[in-house]
Amino acid sequence: MPAFSLDPAQTTWCAELRTLAADHLKPLADKGEPGRVNRPLVAALGELGLLARLFDAGALELCLLRESLARTCTEAETALALQGLGTHPVAAFGTPAQRARWLPEAAAGRAVAAFALSEPGAGSDAAALALEARPDGAGGWRLHGEKRWISNAPEADFATVFARTTPDAGARGVTAFLVPAGRPGLGGEALDMLAPHALGTLTFDGVPVGPDDLLGEPDRGFRVAMNTLNLFRPSVGAFAVGMAQAALDATLAHTADRPAFGGHLADLQSVAHRIAEMATRTEAARLLVYAAAAAYDDGDPDVPRRSAMAKLLATETAQYVVDSAVQLHGARALQRGHLLEHLYREVRAPRIYEGATEVQRTIIAKELYATHRRSHPRQEEPTP
């Protein structure tokens, strides 16, 4: 594989994004209420044209966008990513009428999106989802059940909802629906989580949906979910890399200037070596993320393995780097409102959502063995 580097236009764009985030987005993020959708922030992302880019961006562009925003303002990064996650199924699978109704509103930041796959009984094993779509006898369905841990719920203006149309059929019996807020029987409540963004439940008590609400074909909804997650998985790694870089930058500055034992923290070899380790791991994670995203954009058949590796390494690295940064800052890092106190809360969830670390390892191993088997078909043991 050739050495990977960004071209000058991409590097300049990333620097511009960081400035934009610092000047326009961070002040709005700071005024937001934890656990609530920050509508002025989403609207600003729309006005700056960043949400519109989500719908025609390739995977690498999406990664650069997420990494750059995360370095300066994680709230803006997350608001943008969630808008992408909830809207991508409409952009990729929606009818012309659905696209005309929702894409301009989502791109402008006037309509807030959600992606509702997880349930109390179906997280990592998403194909076990049980939200029931019962035929209503008139060509439509009624939705019954609950979605849980859904970002932007219950405040979102519309949600991509995955429901079971065929019982006992696993992934093959799932259908994706576009459900606007305000449908009769649709409820939900906010959940108080460690992650700072809005998260909640959606409850469905006979919510009516019809053929016009379908995203793709009946029973083919799992494809909609996987298509969306395949695009977004490397970019979760980019979010993590952005947080790791922000923690590293802060720690370099702090340890260089913090007086200690007649010198500065940076003069202590154990501190300097920890910084070196943080920087090396962050760079390795970044390169793996870019490589996975570039492979996605090239249509490489190796995308599942590369994306899983990128998401796994980047999210675990960010946890190590942010934790190290807290350690090297001492008590001040744990004070409410400190950048690292914020990152410490932000960095934990990406190791769980969009495929937990252990699930990524399973994907990687499965892909490796499948490749091995293609070139080394198993020889039957001769029977004695």
Ligand X SMILES: Cc1cc2nc3c(=O)[nH]c(=O)nc-3n(C[C@H](O)[C@H](O)[C@H](O)COP(=O)(O)OP(=O)(O)OC[C@H]3O[C@@H](n4cnc5c(N)ncnc54)[C@H](O)[C@@H]3O)c2cc1C
- Of residues 260-299, those binding ligand X (CB under 6 A): none
Q: Which of residues 175-204 bind ligand X (CB under 6 A)?
A: 193, 195, 199
Spell out the residues 6+ positions from residue 258 whose beta carbon is closer than 8 angstroms to its own. 264, 265, 266
Which of 107, 116, 207, 318 lies at the binding interface for ligand X (CB under 6 A)? 116
Site membership for ligand X, residue 358 (CB under 6 A): yes
Which range in 17-25, 110-118, 248-256, 315-323 contacts ligand X by CB under 6 A?
A: 110-118
- Residue from 42, 91, 310, 349 touching ligand X (CB under 6 A): that is 349
Window of 113-121, 249-257, 295-303, 319-327 that interacts with ligand X by CB under 6 A? 113-121
For residue 154, whether the previous peptide bond is cis, meaning omega lies within 30 degrees of 0, is: yes
Choose which of 10, 95, 230, 362 interacts with ligand X (CB under 6 A): 362
Considering only CA atoms, which of 123, 120, 37 is closest in space to residue 78? Answer: 37
- Give me the residue whose beta carbon is nearest to ligand X: 123
Structure tokens at 166: 């065929």
Could you say whether residue 230 binds ligand X (CB under 6 A)?
A: no
- Give the nearest distance from C-beta 122 to ligand X in angstroms: 7
Q: How far apart are the first and last CA of the chain?
A: 45
- Looking at 75, 77, 146, 354, which residue is catalytic? 354
Any contact of residue 163 with ligand X (CB under 6 A)?
no
CB 154 within 8 A of CB 188: yes
Q: Quick check: 226 binds ligand X (CB under 6 A)?
A: no
Task: Identify which of residues 118 and 203 has a Cβ nearer to ligand X in the complex.
Answer: 118
The pair phi, psi for residue 134, each rounded to 5°, is -90, 130
Distances (CA, A) of 222 to 87, 117, 219, 287, 357: 16, 10, 8, 30, 21
Given a contact cutoff of 8 angstroms between Cβ atoms, the answer to whether 182 and 212 are in contact is no
Are 229 and 354 contacting, i.e. CB atoms less than 8 angstroms apart? yes
Region from 37-45, 51-59, 88-96, 118-126 binding ligand X, contact rule CB under 6 A: 118-126
CA distance 329 to 312: 26
Q: Does 118 bind ligand X (CB under 6 A)?
A: yes
Q: Is 227 in the site for ligand X (CB under 6 A)?
A: no
Nearest of 319, 327, 338, 240 to residue 275 by alpha carbon: 327
- Token pair 């989403």 is at which residue? 42
* Residue 149 in the binding site for ligand X (CB under 6 A): yes
Query: 18 or 233, CB closer to ligand X?
Result: 233
To the nearest whole angstrom, how small is the minimum distance from the Cβ of residue 78 to ligand X? 9
**Closest among 196, 205, 194 to 147, alpha carbons compared:** 205
Q: Does 356 bind ligand X (CB under 6 A)?
A: yes
Query: How many Å apart are CA 42 and CA 38, to the nearest integer?
Result: 6
Does 245 bind ligand X (CB under 6 A)? Our answer is: no
Q: Which stretch binds ligand X (CB under 6 A): 130-138, 306-314, 356-364, 375-383?
A: 356-364
- Closest by CA to 185, choosing from 203, 209, 161, 164, is 203
- Single out the residue of 92, 252, 352, 364 in contact with ligand X (rule: CB under 6 A): 352
Reply yes or no on whether 61 is catalytic: no
SS3 label, residue 308: helix
User: Residues in the site for ligand X, rule: CB under 6 A?
Assistant: 115-118, 123-124, 149-151, 193, 195, 199, 349, 352-353, 356, 358-359, 362
Active site residues: 354
